[in-house]
Amino acid sequence: MNATVQALHIKEVQQNGYTVIKNVNNAEVTRKLLTTVLEIRKKRWSIAKEKGYPARLNGCVFGLQNESLFLVQTMFSHPITTPIVTKLLNDSWYKAIAADRPNFISRNGIRAQSSAKDGLFMHIDSFIPGTGKRPWLLQVFMVLEDQDESNGTILVVPKSHLSDEYATPDSLKDAIPLCPKAGDIIIWDGRLWHGTTPNLEDKSRLVLASGFSCWFIKPKFDLPSALPDSIYQQLTDDEKVIMGFASPTFSDEFDPRYTEDTHNARAGYDVFPQHAPSFY
């Protein structure tokens, strides 16, 4: 993607709260992503059944970053989306890492999800609304199966990310269906009012999804703790940063990672552990 097109998508996120990038992942990549997700989900569901865990709604499966390096590379080192997310979420005062490399983090790892039979009510993902020009949470959805109005497509209210209000059920009347196709990628500001149409026949319409946030937002999952060392050893520096290894929560001021340089918690690649915590 050239710089002009990239700037256009960034502007769309800033002005409208979202952008749809058409035909990003080719058919072969999309098929491989879908197959990988389905294989992991099958394995997970069989374990859940065996142990009596409740099945997740909407065909949702979390923690894919712990299962597949391919999914990590696709979502955290994507040639189109990662530079866009870096430009929108990077903290410009994060001096331990070069300005053009990611210093944001994954909020919830990588998951796959479909859509609910009754549809998803209108809501925001950013927890609090706001009016500022800087987002603190972005969603990246890689579409694996075509969406239309009958199978629970994503609904958005353009420009609502700057409304400074939570979404109400009434906002549904202003929502537009996105109906993306397999291979498209949607990026939206977490403040955007969004939901889904009902998935009338409960058809699969999987997306590979990740939330990314500024490094100082508390993540949903403790990704470094859960990551297998076999995957950690194959990550790039950028991917380790996105996993949260450069902005750890220090135990106290005697934590060996806590130095003159890292007292503001914006650490560099030098705090990466030799092994992921799971190794020990």
Q: Kindly list the residues in this chain that would bind Fe ion in the complex (CB under 5 A).
A: 125
Least gap, CB of 182 to Fe ion (angstroms): 20
How many CB atoms are located within 10 Å of the residue 115 CB? Answer: 24
| C-beta of 94 vs 193, nearer to Fe ion | 193
CB 176 within 8 A of CB 155: yes
Least gap, CB of 75 to Fe ion (angstroms): 17
| C-beta of 125 vs 229, nearer to Fe ion | 125
Which H helix or E strand runs over 155?
strand 154-156
| String of DSSP letters for 215-250 | TTSPPSS-HHHHS-HHHHTT--HHHHHHHTTTS---
Q: Which residues contact 149 (CB under 8 A, 6 or more apart)?
A: 177, 179, 197
Three-state DSSP class for 44? helix
| C-beta of 24 vs 192, nearer to Fe ion | 192
| Terminal-residue alpha carbon distance, the chain | 42
CB nearest Fe ion: which residue? 125
| C-beta of 125 vs 146, nearer to Fe ion | 125
| C-beta of 59 vs 224, nearer to Fe ion | 59
Helices (H), the chain: 3-16, 27-51, 69-76, 81-89, 223-226, 229-232, 237-243
Using CA atoms, how far apart are residues 261 and 43, in angstroms rounded to an integer?
A: 44
Least gap, CB of 211 to Fe ion (angstroms): 9
Q: Is 52 left (phi over 0), alpha (psi -120 to 50) or beta?
A: left
| C-beta of 186 vs 267, nearer to Fe ion | 186
Least gap, CB of 26 to Fe ion (angstroms): 27
Least gap, CB of 38 to Fe ion (angstroms): 23
Least gap, CB of 174 to Fe ion (angstroms): 17
